A and B are shown apart, each in its own frame.
Chain A
Amino acid sequence: MNAVYFHLGQWWFLVRKDLQREYRSRAAWPSMALLGLLMLMAIEMQLDLPAALSRQVAGGMLWLAIFFGGAVPIERSFSSEQADGCWDALRMYPVEGATLYLAKFAFNFISLAILSCVLLPMYVVLTDAPLLKQWPATSLLAMLTCASLAAAGTLVGAIANSLRSRGNLVVLLLLPLALPVLLGASDATASLLRGDTGDMFGRWLQLLAAFSLINLTAGVLLFDFVLER
């Protein structure tokens, strides 16, 4: 029981430390939000379809914008540890890899959730999509998508962090792995826009949940190996 409290405490202080740092330095979230907005804008501008048609195709664009915007905090959450050798310090503390992984996952999930809160209303304004009317289904879909991206992203981000040229590698490694997530999220959005929250929508939610669970498990089990040198 004591051990559980100890790990839980460590997890909480790791998360709190990341949030405190982000709150004070504002290193990741503003650029994440701006990049997401710009992606969304650029794509919508290029397509410039009539509203009805745009709604059908642009569901995927929303999640693509969230993916690229979200890659910023994922990359940042690890590169910021390199600043004063803090990653080495983390490896020297008696912290389990699983604790560290779950802490970074929590931070990345929060970042992605914030990004969704910014981009979803923006998307509704741009495309006039009736997503907010179905807000319970929409927010459930957004949460599962963010969890999936954060679960895979945290593992891949940590891998990419141990390299010399880390910046762009996160996107390159994560995008192929996350393609089924984006596929599922965009198709689920399309069925939401059709006003259909039935069978297919539920199936996509299950797929996203399965993806998050599989990647979370892999992260918890494999993160110790990421920390080795």
Chain B
Amino acid sequence: MELQKLKCGRLEPLGGILFAALLAGVGFLILRVAPAEKTMGEVQRIVYVHVAVATFGMFGMLLAAAAGLALLVRRDQGWDHWGRAAAEVGWLCSTLTLITGSLWAHEAWNTWWTWEPRLTSSLILWTIYAGYFLLRSSIDNDRQQARVCAILAIVGALDIPIITMATRWFRGMHPVSPEMDPTMRGVLLASMVSLTCFFAYLLVRRSVQLQMGHRIRALRQRLLFEQGVRM
């Protein structure tokens, strides 16, 4: 019964096609519609992607922490799939943030890396994600893995405001929403909305996948108990 519900049937490829089209549209907007920036030229187009992934990179940890809290309070293993999916998508975005930011900085500031507040804080966030997955991979027991990772995600999310403050108190030079051409602003908004939708879609798909994997393991275990069959 529940497996039927999880399968999502034939609509699955449709979702993929829809989001491929959406991403292509965003690409078109960024590359063709948005005007080139006066001082930095073409490189500035990275910003449209950068802002979106940076936002979701931080959001992923918060979502993982929220799922972790739900797991601990409600004692429902199902939340672990959401937490893990959120952390994975968050880590992906966090990595993309560092890459796009670094590319942009190379052109704009003439250096790949500088210890500037937002760069520092996104790098720290990235290392917290890394620790989270390291912890995951070193536990075999599903229940223990879920519980322990939930705790780490909560502690990591609580750390975010502190990191933000600590890094901000060193002098910074990251541009904070400068004056923008209305077209540019529109493209930025469109890219943020559609990329956020895309990452949310990724998150749901991944979570469903994890859920199915769990279901298969549970069924195997039940077979083991009922018939002593090893698979």
Contact = CB atoms under 8 A, between A and B. Distances in A.
A–B interface present (Cβ within 8 A): yes
Interface of A: 152, 155-156, 159-160, 162-165, 169, 172-173, 175-177, 179-180, 183-184, 187, 200, 203-204, 207, 210-211, 214-215, 218, 222, 225-226, 228-229
B158 A218 contact: yes
Interface stretch (B22-30, B76-84, B106-114, B166-174): B166-174
A159 B138 CA distance: 11
Contact of B159 (A163, A180, A203, A226): A180
A215 B72 CA distance: 17
A207 B166 CA distance: 8
Contact of A159 (B148, B167, B170): B148
A207 B159 CA distance: 11
Nearest to A210: B162
Interface of B is mostly: helix
Interface in B161-218: 162-163, 165-167, 169-170
Interface stretch (B10-18, B95-103, B149-157): B149-157
B163 A180 contact: yes
Contact of B154 (A152, A163, A164, A218): A218
B155 A215 contact: yes
Contacts of A187: 169-170
A155 to B, nearest CB: 6
B152 A173 contact: yes
A229 B135 CA distance: 16
A173 B155 CA distance: 11
Contacts of B52: none
Interface of B: 72, 124, 127-128, 130-131, 134-135, 138-139, 144, 147-148, 150-152, 154-156, 158-159, 162-163, 165-167, 169-170
Contact of A176 (B124, B139, B170): B124
Given A162-B148, A175-B127, A214-B158, A183 B139 contact: no
Contacts of B163: 179-180
B75 to A, nearest CB: 10
B138 A176 contact: no
A214 B131 CA distance: 20
A169 B130 CA distance: 12
A39 B135 CA distance: 26
A222 B154 contact: yes
Contacts of B152: 156, 159, 173
A183 B72 contact: no
**Residue from A159, A165, A179, A218 having most chain B Cβ neighbours under 10 A:** A179
A169 B134 contact: yes
B155 A163 contact: no
For the complex of A and B, the 7 pairs showing the least CB-CB separation, nearest first, are A180-B166, A176-B127, A176-B128, A173-B131, A180-B162, A180-B163, A183-B166
Contact of A162 (B72, B144, B155): B144
Given A163-B138, A200-B169, A207-B166, A226 B124 contact: no
B146 to A, nearest CB: 10
B69 to A, nearest CB: 10
B154 A184 contact: no
Given A172-B131, A225-B72, A180 B151 contact: no
**Residue from B130, B135, B139, B150 having most chain A Cβ neighbours under 10 A:** B135
13 contacts: A163-B139, A164-B138, A169-B134, A169-B138, A175-B127, A176-B130, A177-B128, A177-B131, A180-B162, A215-B155, A218-B154, A222-B155, A226-B151
A173 B154 CA distance: 13
B77 to A, nearest CB: 13
A172 B150 CA distance: 17
A165 B138 contact: yes
A127 to B, nearest CB: 22
A218 to B, nearest CB: 6
A180 B135 contact: no
B70 to A, nearest CB: 13
Given A176-B127, A176-B131, A207 B162 contact: yes
Contacts of B159: 177, 180
A156 to B, nearest CB: 7
Contacts of A228: 147
Contacts of B138: 163-165, 169
